[in-house]
Structure 1
Amino acid sequence: MEESDLKLTGSDKTNFLETAKWGKFLSIVGFIMSGFIVLGGLTFAGGAFSDLYPGIGGGIGIFYVLFALIYVFPSLYLYRFSTQIKSGIHNGDQQLCSEAYNNLRRLFLFMGVLMIVTLSLYVLIILFALMGGLMGGML
């Protein structure tokens, strides 16, 4: 890729600063939601629902905690992007803006891989459901 001296216009800076505000808000909400998911997972794992779900509460709790851990990463990348791009624009620091873009790239990469994994799991679930239905119909 060829290096160029790309300049940001005033409206570009305004758009990035507005994006940074919303990105920071969404990332903080993401961190808070991760905390609530962990609390929910610990509630299941701690046996609070052992009467309702005997034997599977711990498994559900572990699933919730793992889900919260996965949910933290996009929030972290978005938070880093938001704080770095705001600081980079205000200070005219090209290096900080480059780090912000790298965190935005990581966010999209993470979300893309997560989407591929999710869609693959959906396909597998549908295939197993169809196979189970066919097997059940043969009996």
Structure 2
Amino acid sequence: MQGELSAQRSLTFYFDGGGSVGDLVKDAVVIDPAGAVRHYNMRIEGCNNVSEAHAAIRAVLQIKSLNLTRDTKVALIGDNQNVINYMNYRDRLPSAPLFRRAIEELRSVFDCAGIVCSLTWAHVPRQKNLAGRELAKIQRQRKHLAHV
């Protein structure tokens, strides 16, 4: 999907990240408007909020690669209210050091991406997050394989 997309006026991306505090490998899932699911394994420290911020980074990088025009509206949808709030209210930062670093990195990637389309960050409940469902499947498969 390289090149300019001006025929599509509205695009939706879903993102989700997850992993336990003790897990060194975290997962991120991004679903693009065509329904393609991209799964990322990440070696990062921190809690679920950190994983969510890194999943959002992956979504921003996907959006950047599309070279969208100004008349395209993009919605970035996730189920982590903290990440959504920190992107919508730029005057705030989390106090937890690892989450603070992840949000600062997300903001930096977003600001440097040069995205010119109209982009909004929106929250949905976990059960309505398409990426969350995919992430849950991946994590169930991993747990099943670990017990085999």
Which category describes the TM-score, using the shorter chain as reference length?
under 0.3
Which structure is higher in helix share? Answer: 1
Please tell me whether Structure 1 or Structure 2 has the larger radius of gyration of its CA atoms.
1
TM-score, normalising length: structure 1: 0.25
